[in-house]
Amino acid sequence: MSDAGIECKQINKVTEGRPHIVDALKNGKIDLIINTTEGKQAQEDSFSIRRSALQGKVFYVTTLGAADAVCKSYAIDLPFEVYKLQDLHEQAKTIA
């Protein structure tokens, strides 16, 4: 990916020894995880990766199609606002 101008670095799987992906997650070194699993060991490793990603609020996808969609969404520069569902519900009640 570095050929495409995206900074990336290979990192050890959990079973390959430290420092590994979970260590990097806990240290805040990861911005996006694309974790495609193949085989039983990879599926077992993915549990600790998903848990650490969730705790660290790191975006996590499991397919290349999803990764492609995420990357394309980063390229869109649209202004938008984020609303809490509860706030929208309250607004809807006042309109009705």
Span 24-55, pLDDT tens digits: 999 998 888 888 877 776 677 788 888 889 99
State the chain's mean pLDDT as an integer: 84
Catalogue the long-range contacts made by 45-54 (C-beta closer than 8 Å, 24 or more residues apart). 45/13, 45/14, 45/15, 48/14, 48/22, 49/14, 49/21, 49/22, 49/25, 52/21, 52/22, 52/25, 52/26, 53/25
What was the pLDDT predicted at 27?
92
pLDDT at residue 6 greater than cutoff 90: no
pTM attached to this predicted model: 0.63
- Choose which CATH entry (3.30.360.10, 1.20.1250.20, 3.40.50.1380, 1.10.760.10) describes domain 2-95: 3.40.50.1380
% of the chain surpassing 70 pLDDT: 95
Highest mean pLDDT among 11-15, 46-50, 68-72: 68-72
